Amino acid sequence: MKPRKCLVSIASATAVVVSIGVACWHFSSPRIVARAVSPDGVEMCIVQQCNWDLEPFTTSFIYRKEGALWRWFYYDHQDSYWGRGRVSLDTNAHVAVFYRGGSPAVTFAWVPGVYTLHRWGRTLTNAQETMPAGWSPQVSVYSRK
What is the structure's pLDDT at 53?
A: 86
Distance CA 60, CA 76 (A): 7
Higher pLDDT, 137 or 105: 105
Q: Which pLDDT band, with edges at 50, 70 and 90, does 21 fall under?
A: very low
Pairing of strands 57-64, 71-79: antiparallel
Q: pLDDT of 44-90, one tens digit each?
A: 999 999 988 888 999 999 999 999 999 999 999 999 999 889 999 99
pTM > 0.85: yes or no: no
